[in-house]
Structure 1
Amino acid sequence: MQPSKNLFGLVLSGGQSSRMGQDKGLLQYHGVTQRAHLYSLLQQVCERVYLSLRPCQEAELEGDFQYLLDELDVRGPLNGILSALQQHPQAAWLVVACDLPLVNASTLEKLVRERDSSKIATAYATTGSHLPEPLVAIWEPAAFAPALAFTETGKTCPRKFLLHTDIKLIHPADDEELYNANSPEEFAYITQKLHHGQQI
């Protein structure tokens, strides 16, 4: 699949990783850091790719990555998404979080193929669910103004924002592609799964 023009990739790696106890972006599931792995996957489908970082995190970068720093006074991943939309307002953003270790090239290609650019976003949801997964989704430029207004009411949950917005929901080939690893136990489970050749 050729990279899509004006579709930029964003690896969300600016979180505090408090439950994991270490930076989730620096964990290794696939032989390189998770943020480097996702960066490489996004380069296959996006015109440009950036890491989303909180200020001062850029000093710890382990490679030659383009990055964007969080600019807004907003808690959580919505800060990274809004900062990207604000810094490159002409682009749509394919966003992937570092705590999704089973996202693969097919996951991203399906998202790009099934994108509806007339919506605010195109997002995955598990089979039979109407709950969007905002951190493996394409956020269109039109998302910026309503998402910013949403944060100005004191709310910061990207899923709650998408639940009340005009979006397209799609479903993965396998729900495990959306598996969230946020604790040492979940990291161990996925590492063991991949080690035994059960990668989806």
Structure 2
Amino acid sequence: MGGQDKGLLHYQGRAMVSHVIDAILPQVDDLYISANRHIEKYQTFSYPVITDNLANFQGPLSGILSVMQQVKSAYLLTVPCDNPLISAQLRQRLMEALLATGSDIAVAHDGTQLQPVFALIPLRLKQSLSEFLASGQRKTRDWLYQHKVVEVDFSDQADFFININSPDELTLKPEIRSTKPLLGFAAFSGTGKTTLLTKLIPALKDRNIRVAVIKHAHHNFDIDKPGKDSYQIREAGAEEMIIASDKMMALMKKNHDDLIEPELQPLIQRLDTRTIDLILVEGFKHERFPKIELNRTELGTPTLYKDDPHIIAVASDNAIASDGMPFMLDINHIPAMVDFIEQFIFSWKS
């Protein structure tokens, strides 16, 4: 990157480290940033910034040791700043493997190679790491394998391990990653995406398919009501507000004015995918993930599939010259659309 600080380079409109923070924050109790330059810029992310105690920038292990020397937690989960896509199951899988095998350290393996900086390390190994660095050694892998290491299989999520190592990669919009089948509906305004969803979801439920929905709103909206206690608390300045009852829970987080349009990837990572079989997405048509295009003849809008290779089918109320489209659906025939979605789920799993 020409000597630039990768964590601060903009990816998808914001600093790369902010993507990492969003992905890892739900998985940890406390978060720390290890950095040795541009300290003030890293401090603007509102998390403690810890610099290396050893001089001359002695590599990732030096940063890990410096954090181990200042925190009280029993374990340290480490991730790099140049990997904006991180599995929402990283901590869970590493900890489960550690406990199941009685190992000292758990490290991610993407099915092809070890990912040594994606690791769960107990702080009881702090002295071992200090002695290793004092001996003049620096290689992360060499220190890890001085201990009992369990390599945790993430081959089913290999695409989450994508380092950004060149300026060209910074501008490439990645495909959306999800551990559960993900299917969107792309259409122009007025096509009836929401109306269709309200028909599809009960039909999918009748086939025992549990659905989560992510919807993009193009305008200011609020799910809370003026006058309610929660509304007053949030308006008083709370950055995040959770309302919970025995029936449901809602999290409201204020987006600041200088933020760009919401991104689909971090929203997916907020879902509890253990309770669902399928994620349906309304909007986000410019993101790279499988979609069904919705088209109604009366609107006279152009088709989208020719410019989006991720559109896997077109649902319309009239025949369309397919020009190589893989599948055509009748937008008014819900059972046929559910059949197609069910086959999509099956093909995703296989």
Q: TM-score range by the shorter chain?
A: 0.7 to 0.9
Report how far residue 150 of structure 1 moved.
1.5
Task: Indicate the SS of the match to 1:169.
Answer: strand
Q: Per chain length, whose mean CA-contact separation is higher, i.e. which structure has more relative contact order (CA < 8 Å, sep 6+)?
A: 1
Q: Equivalent residue for 2:107? A: 123
Aligned runs of 1:73-84 on 2, under 5 Å? 73=55, 75-84=58-67
The yes-or-no answer on 1:39 pairing with 2:130 is no
Does 2:185 align with 1:94?
Answer: no
User: CA–CA distance in 1 between the matches of 2:34 and 2:17?
Assistant: 10
Partners of 1:160 and 1:87 in 2: how far apart? 24
**Cα distance, 1:57 vs. partner?**
2.6
Q: What displacement does 1:97 show?
A: 0.3
User: CA shift at 1:111, angstroms?
Assistant: 2.8
Q: What is the alpha-carbon distance in structure 2 between the residues aligned to residue 113 and residue 30 of structure 1?
A: 33
Which residue, 47, 50, 53 being the options, matches 2:32?
A: 50
Unaligned runs of 5+ in 1: 1-18
Give the direction of change, closer, same or farther, for the CA distance of 1:104–1:69 in structure 2 (3 Å limit): same
Residues 23 and 85, structure 2, Cα contact 8 Å, conserved in 1: no
Deviation at 1:187, TM superposition (A): 3.0
Contact 2:59 2:138 (C-alpha < 8 Å) held by counterparts: yes
Normalised by the length of structure 2, the TM-score is 0.45
Partner of 1:59: 40
Match of 1:152 among 130, 134, 139: 134
Q: Does 1:141 align with 2:141?
A: no
Residue number in structure 1 paired with 2:88: 105
CA distance in 1, matches of 2:123, 2:85: 27
Residue 105 of structure 1 and its aligned partner are, at CA, apart by 1.8
The answer as to whether partners of 1:39 and 1:51 remain within 8 angstroms in 2 is no
Aligned partner of 1:85 in structure 2 is: 68
Count of residues in correspondence between the two structures? 177
| Distance in structure 2 (CA, Å) of the matches to 1:31 and 1:138 | 30
Alignment partner, residue 70 of structure 1 = 52
Contact 1:120 1:140 in 2 (8 A): yes
* Structure 2 residue aligned with 1:4: none
Q: Deviations over 1:40-74 (max 9, x none)?
A: 332212111111111x5322233322222221235
C-alpha change, 1:101 and 1:44, in structure 2 (3 Å) is: same
Q: 1:21 to 1:133 in 2, by over 3 A?
A: same
Judged with a 3 Å threshold, the aligned counterparts in structure 2 of structure 1 residues 111 and 150 are, in CA distance, closer, same or farther, namely: same
Contact 2:78–2:120 (Cα < 8 Å) also in 1: yes
Cα-Cα RMSD: 2.7
Taking the aligned partners of 1:149 and 1:198, their CA distance within structure 2 comes to 47
The DSSP-based 3-state class of the residue aligned with 1:105 is coil
- What's the % identity of the aligned pairs? 25
DSSP 3-state at the match of 2:69: helix
| Corresponding letter in the other structure for 2:110 | T
Asked whether the 8 Å contact 1:20–1:184 carries over to 2, the reply is: no
Aligned mates of 1:198, 1:157 — CA distance in 2: 37
* 2-structure distance, mates of 1:148, 1:89: 17
CA separation in 2, counterparts of 1:180 and 1:102? 9
Shift in Å at residue 100 of structure 1? 1.5
Q: TM-score, normalised by structure 1?
A: 0.74
CA drift at 1:192 = 4.9
Q: Structure 2 unaligned runs (5+)?
A: 177-285, 291-350
Deviation at 1:112, TM superposition (A): 3.8
